[in-house]
């Protein structure tokens, strides 16, 4: 029930109070929610980049559709996916997993061979589309965690990926940006959407039931 209340409480904030900063403790919890997101085959094929540095935010603003929001929020969290699957990346994750579980490496070899057979045969763009989908689960959980902490946020696709990728030199990390999350505290008088009703398609239309 608490989750439903938190989800009703949150909204995509349109203006932030630049004087209010989110505590490191709360940012850590939001990031932790993203880290705990389930991913296809457990590959966790993405990272989050947390930008608090104002100078860096000012540079990223160049690519933002809503520059004030990015400038004034406390932190910008960038969800960035692997540019593609590789055998090395898959092996690294599974070696780590088996080590962590005290199992012999290669225990899941037949499974990872299958993954490689499927993913390595695909063009990079098809890999990245799959990887990007994984990041949205993490974004959703991070939004939920922020709401639970009563920290305001905005999920954001309205930005120029090439600007973000270039400024943060994501290619050097083998990553490409997918989405952003602005985190902070709303500037209530400027946050024009806040007084408006939260609108969702009624459950009766949203759900198709087979009883």
Using CB under 6 A, list all residues that contact ligand FMN: 11-12, 14, 65-66, 154-158, 179, 198
What residues have CB less than 8 Å from 173, skipping those under 6 apart?
47, 80
User: Residue number with the shortest CB distance to ligand FMN?
Assistant: 158
Report the nearest approach of ligand FMN to the CB of residue 14 (Å): 6
Which of 79, 82 has the CB closer to ligand FMN?
Answer: 79
Which of 12, 124 has the CB closer to ligand FMN?
Answer: 12
Report the nearest approach of ligand FMN to the CB of residue 82 (Å): 19
Which of 74, 154 has the CB closer to ligand FMN?
Answer: 154
Report the nearest approach of ligand FMN to the CB of residue 60 (Å): 13
Report the nearest approach of ligand FMN to the CB of residue 172 (Å): 26
- State the burial class of residue 138 (Cβ atoms within 10 Å of its Cβ: 0-12, 13-18, 19+): buried
Which of 192, 210 has the CB closer to ligand FMN?
Answer: 192
61 and 67 Cβ atoms separated by less than 8 Å: yes
Angstrom distance (rounded) from CA 170 to CA 130: 18
If one counts every other C-beta atom within 10 angstroms of the C-beta of residue 143, the result is 23
Angstrom distance (rounded) from CA 22 to CA 43: 30
């Amino acid at each position: 029930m608490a989750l439903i209340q938190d989800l009703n409480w949150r909204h995509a904030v349109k203006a932030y109070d630049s004087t209010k900063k989110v505590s490191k403790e709360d940012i850590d919890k939001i990031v932790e929610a993203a880290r705990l997101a389930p991913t296809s085959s457990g590959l966790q094929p993405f990272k989050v980049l947390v930008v608090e540095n104002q100078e860096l935010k000012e540079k990223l603003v160049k690519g933002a559709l809503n520059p004030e929001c990015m400038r004034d929020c406390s932190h910008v969290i960038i969800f960035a996916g692997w540019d593609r699957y590789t055998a090395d990346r898959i092996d690294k994750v599974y070696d780590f997993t088996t080590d962590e579980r005290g199992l012999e490496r290669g225990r899941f070899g037949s499974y990872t061979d299958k993954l490689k057979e499927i993913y390595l045969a695909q063009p990079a763009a098809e890999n990245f589309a799959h990887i990007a989908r994984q990041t949205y689960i993490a974004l959703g959980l991070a939004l939920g965690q922020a709401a639970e902490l009563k920290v305001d946020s905005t999920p954001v696709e309205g930005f120029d990926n090439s600007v973000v990728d270039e400024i943060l030199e994501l290619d050097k990390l083998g990553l490409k940006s997918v989405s952003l999350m602005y985190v902070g505290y709303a500037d209530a008088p400027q946050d024009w959407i806040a007084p408006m009703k939260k609108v969702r398609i009624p459950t009766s239309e949203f759900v198709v039931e087979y009883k």
